[in-house]
Amino acid sequence: MALDFLAGCVGGAAGVLVGHPFDTVKVRLQVQSVEKPLYRGTYHCFQSIIKHESAFGLYKGIGSPMMGLTFINALVFGVQGNTIRALGKDTPLNQFLAGSAAGAIQCVICCPMELAKTRMQLQGTGEYNLKSKNYKNSLDCLLKIYQKEGLRGINRGMVSTFLRETPSFGFYFLTYDSLTRYLGCEVEDSYIIPKLLLAGGMSGIVSWLSTYPVDVIKSRLQADGVRGVVQYNGILDCVRKSYHEEGWKVFTRGLTSTLLRAFPVNAATFATVTVFLMYMRSEENLRECEAGPAIQQPSSL
Protein backbone atom coordinates (compact mmCIF):
# COMPACT_ATOMS: atom_id res chain seq x y z
CA MET A 1 0.00 0.00 0.00
CA ALA A 2 2.86 2.39 0.83
CA LEU A 3 4.54 1.70 -2.49
CA ASP A 4 1.24 2.16 -4.32
CA PHE A 5 1.01 5.54 -2.61
CA LEU A 6 4.56 6.61 -3.50
CA ALA A 7 4.31 5.34 -7.07
CA GLY A 8 1.05 7.20 -7.56
CA CYS A 9 2.59 10.42 -6.29
CA VAL A 10 5.60 10.19 -8.60
CA GLY A 11 3.51 9.16 -11.60
CA GLY A 12 0.92 11.82 -10.92
CA ALA A 13 3.52 14.57 -10.71
CA ALA A 14 4.98 13.50 -14.05
CA GLY A 15 1.53 13.47 -15.63
CA VAL A 16 0.55 16.91 -14.31
CA LEU A 17 3.74 18.58 -15.54
CA VAL A 18 3.37 17.07 -19.01
CA GLY A 19 -0.34 17.62 -19.46
CA HIS A 20 -1.45 20.78 -17.66
CA PRO A 21 -1.03 23.13 -20.67
CA PHE A 22 -3.37 20.92 -22.70
CA ASP A 23 -5.85 20.90 -19.83
CA THR A 24 -5.87 24.69 -19.70
CA VAL A 25 -6.68 24.81 -23.41
CA LYS A 26 -9.41 22.20 -22.98
CA VAL A 27 -11.15 24.17 -20.24
CA ARG A 28 -10.91 27.47 -22.14
CA LEU A 29 -12.50 25.89 -25.22
CA GLN A 30 -15.21 24.12 -23.22
CA VAL A 31 -16.52 27.21 -21.45
CA GLN A 32 -16.01 30.03 -23.95
CA SER A 33 -19.05 31.95 -25.17
CA VAL A 34 -20.61 30.68 -28.39
CA GLU A 35 -21.71 34.23 -29.32
CA LYS A 36 -18.25 35.76 -28.86
CA PRO A 37 -15.69 32.95 -28.98
CA LEU A 38 -12.13 33.94 -28.16
CA TYR A 39 -10.54 30.90 -29.79
CA ARG A 40 -11.03 29.24 -33.18
CA GLY A 41 -9.61 25.91 -32.12
CA THR A 42 -6.92 24.09 -30.17
CA TYR A 43 -3.87 25.56 -31.92
CA HIS A 44 -5.30 29.07 -31.90
CA CYS A 45 -6.04 28.76 -28.19
CA PHE A 46 -2.46 27.68 -27.44
CA GLN A 47 -1.15 30.52 -29.58
CA SER A 48 -3.41 33.14 -28.01
CA ILE A 49 -2.64 32.15 -24.42
CA ILE A 50 1.11 32.33 -25.03
CA LYS A 51 0.77 35.64 -26.89
CA HIS A 52 -1.50 37.41 -24.42
CA GLU A 53 -0.66 35.69 -21.14
CA SER A 54 2.86 34.30 -21.72
CA ALA A 55 3.80 30.61 -21.60
CA PHE A 56 3.07 30.65 -17.88
CA GLY A 57 -0.58 31.21 -18.76
CA LEU A 58 -0.70 27.59 -19.85
CA TYR A 59 0.16 26.57 -16.29
CA LYS A 60 -2.51 28.59 -14.53
CA GLY A 61 -4.17 26.52 -11.85
CA ILE A 62 -1.40 23.92 -11.70
CA GLY A 63 -1.15 24.37 -7.93
CA SER A 64 -4.50 22.68 -7.40
CA PRO A 65 -3.70 19.37 -9.16
CA MET A 66 -0.22 19.41 -7.65
CA MET A 67 -1.70 19.78 -4.17
CA GLY A 68 -4.26 17.07 -4.75
CA LEU A 69 -2.24 14.52 -6.69
CA THR A 70 -0.70 13.00 -3.54
CA PHE A 71 -4.07 12.11 -2.09
CA ILE A 72 -5.74 11.28 -5.40
CA ASN A 73 -3.04 8.90 -6.58
CA ALA A 74 -2.76 7.33 -3.16
CA LEU A 75 -6.49 6.60 -3.32
CA VAL A 76 -6.53 5.53 -6.97
CA PHE A 77 -3.62 3.10 -6.90
CA GLY A 78 -4.24 2.01 -3.32
CA VAL A 79 -7.95 1.32 -3.80
CA GLN A 80 -7.46 -0.26 -7.21
CA GLY A 81 -4.72 -2.59 -6.00
CA ASN A 82 -6.52 -3.61 -2.84
CA THR A 83 -9.82 -4.13 -4.68
CA ILE A 84 -8.13 -6.46 -7.16
CA ARG A 85 -6.64 -8.43 -4.29
CA ALA A 86 -9.99 -8.54 -2.48
CA LEU A 87 -11.78 -9.80 -5.59
CA GLY A 88 -9.31 -12.66 -5.76
CA LYS A 89 -8.95 -13.07 -9.52
CA ASP A 90 -7.22 -10.71 -11.94
CA THR A 91 -9.87 -10.83 -14.68
CA PRO A 92 -10.91 -8.08 -17.15
CA LEU A 93 -14.20 -7.60 -15.30
CA ASN A 94 -12.40 -7.27 -11.96
CA GLN A 95 -9.96 -4.80 -13.50
CA PHE A 96 -12.91 -2.68 -14.58
CA LEU A 97 -14.62 -2.96 -11.19
CA ALA A 98 -11.44 -2.12 -9.29
CA GLY A 99 -10.74 0.87 -11.50
CA SER A 100 -14.32 2.09 -11.15
CA ALA A 101 -14.11 1.82 -7.37
CA ALA A 102 -10.91 3.83 -7.37
CA GLY A 103 -12.45 6.47 -9.61
CA ALA A 104 -15.55 6.81 -7.47
CA ILE A 105 -13.72 7.20 -4.17
CA GLN A 106 -11.21 9.79 -5.36
CA CYS A 107 -14.04 12.12 -6.47
CA VAL A 108 -14.11 13.49 -2.91
CA ILE A 109 -10.75 15.14 -3.56
CA CYS A 110 -10.89 15.41 -7.34
CA CYS A 111 -14.02 17.59 -7.48
CA PRO A 112 -12.82 20.49 -5.26
CA MET A 113 -9.38 20.28 -6.86
CA GLU A 114 -10.80 20.60 -10.36
CA LEU A 115 -13.14 23.38 -9.27
CA ALA A 116 -10.15 25.45 -8.11
CA LYS A 117 -8.18 24.51 -11.22
CA THR A 118 -11.01 25.58 -13.52
CA ARG A 119 -11.51 28.91 -11.74
CA MET A 120 -7.78 29.64 -11.82
CA GLN A 121 -7.51 28.70 -15.50
CA LEU A 122 -10.30 31.13 -16.40
CA GLN A 123 -8.89 33.98 -14.32
CA GLY A 124 -7.49 36.77 -16.48
CA THR A 125 -8.49 35.20 -19.79
CA GLY A 126 -6.77 37.17 -22.56
CA GLU A 127 -4.72 39.38 -20.22
CA TYR A 128 -0.90 39.33 -20.30
CA ASN A 129 -0.57 41.20 -17.01
CA LEU A 130 -3.54 40.71 -14.72
CA LYS A 131 -4.93 44.03 -13.50
CA SER A 132 -6.67 42.34 -10.62
CA LYS A 133 -6.83 38.81 -9.29
CA ASN A 134 -9.83 37.24 -7.63
CA TYR A 135 -7.67 34.40 -6.37
CA LYS A 136 -4.02 34.41 -5.35
CA ASN A 137 -3.64 30.66 -5.74
CA SER A 138 -5.66 27.45 -5.71
CA LEU A 139 -5.93 27.29 -1.92
CA ASP A 140 -7.07 30.90 -1.75
CA CYS A 141 -9.63 30.09 -4.44
CA LEU A 142 -11.12 27.23 -2.41
CA LEU A 143 -11.16 29.30 0.79
CA LYS A 144 -13.02 32.15 -0.91
CA ILE A 145 -15.54 29.79 -2.48
CA TYR A 146 -16.09 28.17 0.92
CA GLN A 147 -16.56 31.55 2.63
CA LYS A 148 -19.12 32.58 0.04
CA GLU A 149 -20.96 29.33 -0.70
CA GLY A 150 -19.98 26.86 2.02
CA LEU A 151 -19.43 23.13 1.45
CA ARG A 152 -22.00 23.09 -1.33
CA GLY A 153 -19.90 25.57 -3.29
CA ILE A 154 -16.69 23.59 -2.71
CA ASN A 155 -18.39 20.46 -4.04
CA ARG A 156 -19.97 22.05 -7.09
CA GLY A 157 -19.95 19.53 -9.92
CA MET A 158 -19.61 16.52 -7.59
CA VAL A 159 -22.35 14.44 -9.25
CA SER A 160 -21.03 15.09 -12.76
CA THR A 161 -17.50 14.33 -11.54
CA PHE A 162 -18.73 11.02 -10.12
CA LEU A 163 -20.52 10.16 -13.37
CA ARG A 164 -17.32 10.89 -15.27
CA GLU A 165 -14.72 9.30 -13.02
CA THR A 166 -16.40 6.01 -12.12
CA PRO A 167 -16.64 4.40 -15.58
CA SER A 168 -13.64 6.35 -16.87
CA PHE A 169 -11.22 4.78 -14.39
CA GLY A 170 -12.76 1.39 -15.04
CA PHE A 171 -11.88 1.63 -18.73
CA TYR A 172 -8.53 3.20 -17.79
CA PHE A 173 -7.21 0.25 -15.81
CA LEU A 174 -8.92 -2.35 -17.99
CA THR A 175 -7.30 -0.97 -21.15
CA TYR A 176 -3.86 -0.73 -19.56
CA ASP A 177 -3.99 -4.27 -18.22
CA SER A 178 -5.24 -5.67 -21.53
CA LEU A 179 -2.62 -3.84 -23.60
CA THR A 180 0.32 -4.77 -21.37
CA ARG A 181 -0.74 -8.41 -21.60
CA TYR A 182 -1.21 -8.20 -25.37
CA LEU A 183 2.13 -6.45 -25.90
CA GLY A 184 3.91 -8.98 -23.70
CA CYS A 185 5.44 -6.47 -21.28
CA GLU A 186 7.86 -8.78 -19.56
CA VAL A 187 10.17 -7.34 -16.92
CA GLU A 188 13.40 -8.03 -18.81
CA ASP A 189 12.03 -6.98 -22.22
CA SER A 190 14.43 -4.45 -23.79
CA TYR A 191 11.44 -2.64 -25.30
CA ILE A 192 9.43 -2.51 -22.09
CA ILE A 193 9.52 1.29 -21.74
CA PRO A 194 8.08 2.02 -25.22
CA LYS A 195 5.46 -0.67 -24.65
CA LEU A 196 4.47 0.79 -21.29
CA LEU A 197 4.29 4.28 -22.80
CA LEU A 198 2.05 3.01 -25.60
CA ALA A 199 -0.21 1.11 -23.20
CA GLY A 200 -0.48 4.05 -20.82
CA GLY A 201 -1.13 6.57 -23.58
CA MET A 202 -3.85 4.47 -25.20
CA SER A 203 -5.44 3.86 -21.80
CA GLY A 204 -5.76 7.59 -21.32
CA ILE A 205 -7.36 8.08 -24.73
CA VAL A 206 -9.91 5.29 -24.18
CA SER A 207 -10.66 6.63 -20.72
CA TRP A 208 -11.42 10.14 -21.97
CA LEU A 209 -13.43 9.00 -24.98
CA SER A 210 -15.65 6.90 -22.73
CA THR A 211 -17.01 9.86 -20.73
CA TYR A 212 -15.94 13.08 -22.46
CA PRO A 213 -19.43 14.65 -22.86
CA VAL A 214 -19.85 14.40 -19.08
CA ASP A 215 -16.57 16.29 -18.64
CA VAL A 216 -17.89 19.16 -20.76
CA ILE A 217 -20.93 19.43 -18.50
CA LYS A 218 -18.73 19.27 -15.39
CA SER A 219 -16.52 22.09 -16.64
CA ARG A 220 -19.52 24.25 -17.47
CA LEU A 221 -21.11 23.71 -14.09
CA GLN A 222 -17.88 24.49 -12.25
CA ALA A 223 -17.27 27.61 -14.35
CA ASP A 224 -20.87 28.80 -14.04
CA GLY A 225 -21.14 32.15 -12.30
CA VAL A 226 -17.46 33.09 -12.71
CA ARG A 227 -18.41 36.19 -14.68
CA GLY A 228 -21.33 37.03 -12.42
CA VAL A 229 -24.11 35.28 -14.37
CA VAL A 230 -25.46 31.90 -13.25
CA GLN A 231 -26.86 30.00 -16.24
CA TYR A 232 -27.55 26.45 -15.07
CA ASN A 233 -29.74 24.92 -12.38
CA GLY A 234 -28.13 21.49 -12.54
CA ILE A 235 -26.80 18.75 -14.82
CA LEU A 236 -29.94 18.20 -16.90
CA ASP A 237 -30.51 21.94 -17.27
CA CYS A 238 -26.91 22.36 -18.42
CA VAL A 239 -27.27 19.52 -20.94
CA ARG A 240 -30.54 20.93 -22.29
CA LYS A 241 -29.36 24.53 -22.60
CA SER A 242 -25.97 23.60 -24.04
CA TYR A 243 -27.55 21.38 -26.70
CA HIS A 244 -30.27 23.93 -27.50
CA GLU A 245 -27.78 26.76 -27.99
CA GLU A 246 -24.88 24.97 -29.68
CA GLY A 247 -26.05 21.56 -30.89
CA TRP A 248 -24.43 18.18 -30.25
CA LYS A 249 -20.96 19.44 -31.14
CA VAL A 250 -20.82 21.25 -27.81
CA PHE A 251 -20.25 17.87 -26.14
CA THR A 252 -17.02 17.37 -28.10
CA ARG A 253 -15.67 20.88 -27.55
CA GLY A 254 -12.03 20.72 -26.48
CA LEU A 255 -11.76 17.03 -27.37
CA THR A 256 -8.74 17.53 -29.64
CA SER A 257 -6.65 19.19 -26.94
CA THR A 258 -7.84 16.58 -24.44
CA LEU A 259 -6.71 13.66 -26.60
CA LEU A 260 -3.43 15.42 -27.41
CA ARG A 261 -2.95 15.71 -23.66
CA ALA A 262 -4.24 12.25 -22.76
CA PHE A 263 -1.56 10.26 -24.56
CA PRO A 264 1.62 11.87 -23.16
CA VAL A 265 0.13 12.43 -19.70
CA ASN A 266 -1.00 8.87 -19.17
CA ALA A 267 2.01 7.42 -20.95
CA ALA A 268 4.21 9.31 -18.48
CA THR A 269 2.01 8.45 -15.50
CA PHE A 270 1.64 4.72 -16.03
CA ALA A 271 5.21 4.17 -17.24
CA THR A 272 6.56 6.09 -14.24
CA VAL A 273 4.34 4.19 -11.80
CA THR A 274 5.23 0.81 -13.29
CA VAL A 275 8.98 1.41 -13.50
CA PHE A 276 8.99 2.89 -9.99
CA LEU A 277 7.27 -0.18 -8.59
CA MET A 278 9.54 -2.51 -10.54
CA TYR A 279 12.64 -1.04 -8.92
CA MET A 280 11.21 -0.43 -5.46
CA ARG A 281 9.84 -3.88 -4.84
CA SER A 282 12.15 -6.35 -3.19
CA GLU A 283 14.14 -8.76 -5.31
CA GLU A 284 11.90 -11.53 -4.06
CA ASN A 285 8.77 -9.82 -5.34
CA LEU A 286 10.50 -8.99 -8.60
CA ARG A 287 11.36 -12.66 -9.09
CA GLU A 288 7.70 -13.51 -8.51
CA CYS A 289 6.71 -11.02 -11.21
CA GLU A 290 9.31 -12.44 -13.59
CA ALA A 291 7.77 -15.87 -13.15
CA GLY A 292 4.53 -14.59 -14.71
CA PRO A 293 3.99 -14.18 -18.45
CA ALA A 294 3.48 -10.41 -18.31
CA ILE A 295 3.49 -7.35 -16.08
CA GLN A 296 0.22 -6.86 -14.28
CA GLN A 297 -1.36 -3.52 -13.50
CA PRO A 298 1.07 -1.28 -11.53
CA SER A 299 -0.53 -1.78 -8.14
CA SER A 300 -0.17 -5.57 -8.24
CA LEU A 301 3.51 -5.66 -9.15
Domains of the chain (ranges; CATH) run 1-125+136-277 (1.50.40.10)
pLDDT band at 207 (very low <50, low <70, confident <90, very high): very high
pTM of the model: 0.77
Check residue 39 and report its DSSP letter: -
Average pLDDT over the chain reads 84
In the predicted structure, residue 197 carries a pLDDT above the cut 90: yes
- Tell me the pLDDT tens digit for each residue of 120-133: 888 866 555 555 67
* Integer Cα distance of 273 and 7 in angstroms: 5
**What angle (nearest 5°) sits at the alpha carbon of residue 125, between those of residues 123 and 130?**
70
- Tell me the pLDDT tens digit for each residue of 27-45: 888 888 777 888 988 899 9
* Integer Cα distance of 139 and 134 in angstroms: 12
Which whole-number Å values give the CA distances from 180 to 8, 86, 193, 205, 280, in the listed order? 18, 22, 11, 15, 20
Number of C-beta neighbours around residue 247 at 10 A:
10
**Whether the Cβ atoms of residue 260 and residue 18 lie closer than 8 Å to each other:** no
For residue 88, which phi and psi values (nearest 5 degrees)? 95, -45
